[in-house]
Structure 1
Amino acid sequence: MTLLALGINHRTASVAVREQVAFTPAQFESALGELRCLPHVSEAAVLSTCNRTELYCVTDEAGERTVLDWLGRFHGLAVEEISRCAYHYIDAAAARHLMRVAVGLDSMVLGEPQILGQLKEAYQQSRSAKGLGGELERLFQHTFAVAKQVRTETGIGKNPVSVAYAAVSMASRIFDDFGRASALLIGAGETIELVARHLSEAGVRKLTVANRTRERAQALAGPLGGEAITLPEIPDALERADIVISSTAAPLPILGKGMVERALKKRRHRPVFMVDIAVPRDIEPEVGELADVFLYTVDDLEEVIEENRRHRQVAADQAESLIEHGVVSWEQERRVRDGGELIRDYRRHGEAMRDESRDQALERLARGEDPAKVVERLAHQLANRFMHQPTLALREAASRENHEVLSAAPRVLLPPKPAFEKPAPSAKRQKDDSPA
């Protein structure tokens, strides 16, 4: 079987494409169920964030096309459209890619820690949906161990930066003094929590958190001295907001052009800085056409993120080295497991032939046949059966000049020569030792 990693990310696809291929939380269970039941797929896991959608599968040779076709069908997209921005990795390359994702080396913000938590959540969801078998289970566990080693032994996690940090950093270029700015944050997930923390540390004058439930918004805003509101209260809060940052899992936009236009009129057209971190987008793209709005998406944060990337490059190089060791270790463990399965199959085959020959011999003895002849026949039969398949394989290898098989055959089929053989006594020694 083959390990396959197939997906799109912020480097290969625009936010418009990524939001079409993203899986909402409500879709995860059905998506994993369908994916797991595909004819060429035996195991499956799905990772879907604002920056990437990736499928990890154990398949046969035809599995890649099957998985790609399914992804198009599930989201109602032409396969050709996805193919233009999709990447795929096989076996060791797939394991390496997953480890790089877990460490944050493939993230928009190099080394950002959020992705590891998202990957662990995807692992748990896939496990709960019975998408994981032994192969993916071991790969994920190995990946988490490598990620822990990288975080412990390199500086990749020092001075943490993230999309949230990049958004606040960009806002600081527009607002010289956060102490005079009011911020509205929409959502209450980990990204918004990071944004709220960064803004609070930067000294923002007023912080308002809007969420579907007031309790969740209060849990985030309360410790930072902010205000909690529900989504229907956003229009009023929008009138007072200088900074708007949104990151929810809503399937449709929360802020429309009309709502923002009305808020701008009441603000007397004082400018508003907006960042839409969500995929699918929370803010209609048309909002960016308004004269007094500076609207950015996650794709627009690349300049800030690139600056952060340079600061982490040394640690990233160290991480790459640890990942290579991790891939080699994973491949070695995989080969050992494959060898163990081959040995078990071989022994089961040999034991089946032994039992069959033994039962036949016991039947002949029960019929009163000569025990010596029965034993001689049993030995002859067992020898022929055990040597039959290796003999055919050697003849085939010789006819095809398969030197790899021929050179390995003596080590596999023949007993090792003794490291030391006692020389036979010489004629002179025998004569000297003869009795007088």
Structure 2
Amino acid sequence: MTLLALGINHRTATVAVREQVAFTATQLEMALAELRSLPQISEAAVLSTCNRTELYCVTDAEGEQAVLDWLGRFHGLRVEELARCAYHYLDNDAARHLMRVAVGLDSMVLGEPQILGQLKDAYQQARDADGLGGELERLFQHTFAVAKQVRTETGIGKNPVSVAYAAVSLASRIFDDFSRARALLIGAGETIELVARHLHEAGVRHLTVANRTRERAERVSAELGGEAITLEEIPQALERADIVISSTGSPLPILGKGMVERALKKRRHRPVFMVDIAVPRDIEPEVGELADVFLYTVDDLEEVIQENRKHRQVAADQAETLIHHGVASWQHDRRIRNGGELIRDYRRQGEALRDISRQQALERLARGEDPAEVIERLAHQLANRLMHQPTQAIRDAASREQYDLLDAASSLLLPAEMPALAHRQKDNTPA
């Protein structure tokens, strides 16, 4: 079986494509069940964030195409369109990719910490859906251990660098005095919590958090002295907001062009800075056409993120070294496991042949046959049965000039002590 990592991210696909391929929370359970039911797939996990959708699977030789076809069917997209922006990694490369993702080396913001929590959520969701077997279970656990080592031994997690921080940094270029700005944050997840904290630390004192349920909005706003509202109250809050940052899991836009246009009239066309971090987008793209709106998406944060990337590059190089050792360790353990499985299979085969020969010998003894003849025949049959398959494989390898297999057979089947043992048996000397 093959380990496969297949997906798209912010480097290979635009936000328009990413939002089509993203999985909502309600879709994940069904997606895992469907993916796991494919005949080519024995294990599966799905990671879906605003910047990436990735599928981790244990597959057979044709699994990659089957997974790509399924992803297209699930989201109603043409496979050819997906293939143009999808990437895939196999076995060791797949393990390395997962570890790089967990550490934040593959993120838009180098070393951002949120992705590790998102990956742990994806792991737990796959476990709950019975999508994990021994292979992915061990890989994820090994990945989490490597990520912890990287966070502990390098400076990649230092300084507040994230998509949330990048959004606030971009806002700071537009507003000279944050203390007079009013911010409306839509959503109450981890990203919005970070945005709220960064805005508060930057000097914003007027924070409003809007969410589907007021209770969750209060949880984010209360600590920072902000106000909590529901999504239905956004039109009124929009009239007072200078900064709007949105990150929800809504499948449909929350802010439409008409709603923003009406708010701008009430504001007497004072400009509004907006950042849409969500995928799918929370703010209709047409809002950016309005004269007094400065609308940015996650893709527009790349300039800010590139500046932050420089500060973490040294730590990233150290992280790459740790990941290299992590992949080598995982590969070593995997080889040992595969060797153990081969040993178990080989021993089971030998024991089955032994049991057959023993049963036949016992039946002959029960019929009164001469014990010496029974033992002689038992030894002859057992030797022939044990040697038949390796002998045939050696003949086939020799006829095909597969010298690597012949060398391996010599090493495995003719251990160094065999000639001495044969010599002692011939001379009838005690061992």
TM bucket, shorter chain: over 0.9
Matched, 1:43 2:60: no
The corresponding residue for 1:83 is 83
The corresponding residue for 2:301 is 301
Question: How many angstroms apart in 2 are the aligned matches of 1:308 and 1:419?
Answer: 67
The corresponding residue for 1:434 is none
The corresponding residue for 2:19 is 19
Amino acid corresponding to residue 78 of structure 1 in structure 2:
R
The corresponding residue for 1:432 is none
Question: 1:380-401 CA distances to partner (integer Å, 9 max, x unpaired)?
Answer: 1111111111111111222222
Matched, 1:210 2:210: yes
The corresponding residue for 1:266 is 266
Question: How many angstroms apart in 2 are the aligned matches of 1:419 and 1:119?
Answer: 56
Query: Structure 1 residues 419 and 277, CA, compared in 2 at 3 Å: closer, same or farther?
Result: farther
Question: How many angstroms apart in 2 are the aligned matches of 1:385 and 1:419?
Answer: 22
Give the match's secondary structure for 2:295.
strand
The corresponding residue for 2:425 is none
The corresponding residue for 2:321 is 321
Question: 1:298-331 CA distances to partner (integer Å, 9 max, x unpaired)?
Answer: 0000000001111100000010111111111111
Question: How many angstroms apart in 2 are the aligned matches of 1:367 and 1:306?
Answer: 86
Matched, 1:413 2:413: yes
Superposition pairs of residues 351-390 of structure 1, within 5 angstroms: 351-390=351-390
The corresponding residue for 2:225 is 225
Amino acid corresponding to residue 32 of structure 1 in structure 2:
L
Question: 1:185-208 CA distances to partner (integer Å, 9 max, x unpaired)?
Answer: 000000000000000001113010
- What is the CA distance between 1:415 and its match in structure 2? 2.8
Superposition pairs of residues 116-131 of structure 1, within 5 angstroms: 116-131=116-131
Superposition pairs of residues 241-260 of structure 1, within 5 angstroms: 241-260=241-260
Question: How many angstroms apart in 1 are the aligned matches of 2:187 and 2:256?
Answer: 16
Query: Structure 1 residues 419 and 323, CA, compared in 2 at 3 Å: closer, same or farther?
Result: farther
The corresponding residue for 2:101 is 101
User: TM-score by structure 1 length?
Assistant: 0.95
Question: How many angstroms apart in 2 are the aligned matches of 1:10 and 1:295?
Answer: 19
The percent identity for this pair of structures is 83
Amino acid corresponding to residue 133 of structure 2 in structure 1:
G
- What is the CA distance between 1:407 and its match in structure 2? 1.7
Question: How many angstroms apart in 2 are the aligned matches of 1:98 and 1:35?
Answer: 19
- What is the CA distance between 1:416 and its match in structure 2? 2.3
Question: How many angstroms apart in 2 are the aligned matches of 1:385 and 1:66?
Answer: 40
Matched, 1:7 2:7: yes
The corresponding residue for 1:71 is 71
Give the match's secondary structure for 1:314.
helix
Question: How many angstroms apart in 2 are the aligned matches of 1:16 and 1:411?
Answer: 57
Question: How many angstroms apart in 2 are the aligned matches of 1:253 and 1:159?
Answer: 32
- What is the CA distance between 1:411 and its match in structure 2? 2.2
Question: How many angstroms apart in 1 are the aligned matches of 2:416 and 2:296?
Answer: 70
Matched, 1:148 2:145: no
- What is the CA distance between 1:368 and its match in structure 2? 0.4
Question: 1:214-263 CA distances to partner (integer Å, 9 max, x unpaired)?
Answer: 11111110110101111110001000000000000011000000000011
Matched, 1:184 2:184: yes
User: TM-score by structure 2 length?
Assistant: 0.96
Question: How many angstroms apart in 2 are the aligned matches of 1:418 and 1:90?
Answer: 41
Give the unaligned 5+ runs of structure 1. 422-436
Query: Structure 1 residues 308 and 419, CA, compared in 2 at 3 Å: closer, same or farther?
Result: farther
Give the unaligned 5+ runs of structure 2. 422-431
Question: How many angstroms apart in 1 are the aligned matches of 2:90 and 2:204?
Answer: 47
The corresponding residue for 1:167 is 167
Question: How many angstroms apart in 2 are the aligned matches of 1:219 and 1:80?
Answer: 44
Question: How many angstroms apart in 1 are the aligned matches of 2:46 and 2:272?
Answer: 36
Question: How many angstroms apart in 2 are the aligned matches of 1:360 and 1:164?
Answer: 75
Query: Structure 1 residues 266 and 32, CA, compared in 2 at 3 Å: closer, same or farther?
Result: same
Give the match's secondary structure for 2:283.
coil
Amino acid corresponding to residue 7 of structure 1 in structure 2:
G
Question: How many angstroms apart in 1 are the aligned matches of 2:118 and 2:326?
Answer: 21
Question: 1:125-156 CA distances to partner (integer Å, 9 max, x unpaired)?
Answer: 01100111111111100110110111111111
Give the match's secondary structure for 1:312.
helix
- What is the CA distance between 1:160 and its match in structure 2? 3.0
The corresponding residue for 1:429 is none
Amino acid corresponding to residue 27 of structure 1 in structure 2:
Q
